[in-house]
């Protein structure tokens, strides 16, 4: 099997690596905070001292980081991934960043004689652990076919959507619905609770109704019990909403619901809740409505 490099071992990235290890792939990884990777080292992952070391030691190197700035941090400089790329290598970015930046990076990668794919995922920690994650991919179709067997070890649904940057665009188009859905759910829940229906009863009833999408089913329980470590915090959700609004302006596509759904995220940040999972928007609305826990 190809040797895989992986930079960014957070809640999602670390679990992706675990799936690759379980599939038999040799993996060399790097994370800014090494302690977060200890469980993967115990599972058989090798450690790289820098992103460059990881790229040099692998055939296919992945990144999965929080935003454009974090991606540029691990790419550039003497110890960055770009410095470790060479002809025949493939770089796969699974982050959700600006499509324009993704295309710029693809050009930089090509200058090294390597190939780049953007391959963000749709799903959550639970989806990933259950083996139900979906992957969307942009880039050279031949390179995609070469990397596809690796991606299928991450998730069973892998869709090629077009040239570099288009998979990131597809991910942004999908992710805006996450906030729109949770906000609509929270408004209905708050209406029920203020009218006298216990929160737990209302949540159970709503999740047994036709509105219960897969994303709501795994995120709404956080309204009752917020996880200590957010799967997808307010800052990350708002980053995707702002990317969507930017794309809307670029393409002359009106996104009125996206614009409105973004505002409670700003309120959450103002209340110091930015590190909470974005399901915390219920708490924001409840405070505005005079309903306290």
Question: Distance between the two ends of the chain, CA-based, in angstroms?
Answer: 52
* Number of Cα atoms under 13 Å in the Cβ half of residue 4: 28
Q: Is the pLDDT of residue 124 over 90?
A: no
Q: Dump pLDDT digits (tens) for 162-211.
A: 999 999 999 999 999 999 999 999 999 999 999 999 999 999 999 999 99
At 293, the pLDDT band (50, 70, 90 cuts) reads low
For the range 210-216, what are the long-range contacts, defined as Cβ-Cβ under 8 Å and sequence gap of 24 or more? 211/184, 211/185, 213/181, 214/127, 215/124, 215/177, 215/178, 215/181, 215/182, 216/181, 216/182, 216/185
Domain ranges of the chain: 4-163, 169-288
CATH architecture assigned to 4-163: 3-Layer(aba) Sandwich (3.40)
Instruction: Please give the pLDDT value at position 131.
Output: 86
State how far the Cα of 72 lies from the Cα of 219, in Å rounded to an integer. 30
Over the stretch 68-121, which tens digit does the pLDDT of each residue have? 999 999 999 999 999 999 999 999 999 999 999 999 999 999 999 999 999 999
Phi, psi (rounded to 5 degrees) for 92: -120, 115
Q: Which of 18, 171, 239, 276 is catalytic?
A: 171
Lowest mean pLDDT among 143-152, 242-251, 283-292: 283-292
The reported pLDDT for the residue numbered 224 is 96
**C-alpha span between 86 and 90 (Å, rounded):** 9
Architecture of domain 169-288: Orthogonal Bundle (1.10)
Per-residue pLDDT tens over the stretch 28-68: 999 999 999 999 999 999 999 999 999 999 999 999 999 99
This prediction's pTM: 0.92
pLDDT at position 132, please? 87
Segment 146-172 shows an average pLDDT of 97
Q: Is 89 a catalytic residue?
A: no
Q: Is the pLDDT of residue 292 over 80?
A: no
**Using CA atoms, how far apart are residues 104 and 283, in angstroms rounded to an integer?**
39
Give the tens place of pLDDT for each residue, 197-247.
999 999 999 999 999 999 999 999 999 999 988 889 999 999 999 999 999
Distance of alpha carbon 135 from alpha carbon 20, whole angstroms: 14
């Amino acid at each position: 099997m190809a040797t895989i490099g992986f930079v960014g071992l957070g809640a999602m990235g670390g679990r992706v690596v675990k799936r690759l290890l379980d599939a038999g792939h040799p993996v060399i990884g790097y994370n800014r905070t090494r302690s977060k990777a200890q469980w993967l080292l115990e599972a058989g992952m090798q450690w790289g001292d820098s992103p460059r070391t990881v790229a040099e030691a692998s055939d296919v190197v992945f990144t999965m980081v929080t935003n454009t700035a974090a991606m540029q941090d691990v790419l550039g400089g003497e110890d960055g991934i770009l410095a470790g790329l060479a002809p025949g290598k493939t770089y796969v970015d699974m982050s959700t960043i600006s499509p324009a930046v993704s295309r710029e990076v693809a050009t930089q990668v090509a200058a090294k004689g390597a190939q780049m794919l953007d391959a963000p995922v749709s799903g959550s920690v639970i989806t990933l652990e259950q083996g139900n994650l979906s992957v969307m991919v942009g880039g050279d179709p031949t390179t995609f076919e070469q990397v596809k067997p690796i991606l299928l070890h991450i998730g069973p649904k892998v869709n090629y959507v077009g040239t570099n940057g288009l998979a990131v665009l597809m991910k942004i188009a999908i992710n805006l619905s996450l906030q729109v859905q949770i906000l609509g759910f929270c408004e209905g829940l708050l209406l029920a609770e203020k009218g006298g229906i216990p929160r737990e009863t209302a949540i159970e009833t709503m999740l047994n109704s036709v509105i219960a999408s897969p994303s709501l089913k795994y995120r709404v329980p956080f309204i009752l019990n917020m996880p200590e470590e957010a799967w997808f915090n307010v800052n990350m959700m708002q980053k995707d909403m702002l990317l969507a609004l930017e794309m809307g302006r670029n393409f002359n596509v009106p996104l009125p619901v996206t614009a409105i759904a973004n505002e409670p995220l700003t309120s959450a940040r103002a209340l110091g809740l930015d590190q909470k999972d974005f399901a915390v928007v219920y708490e924001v609305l409840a405070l505005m409505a005079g309903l306290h826990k």
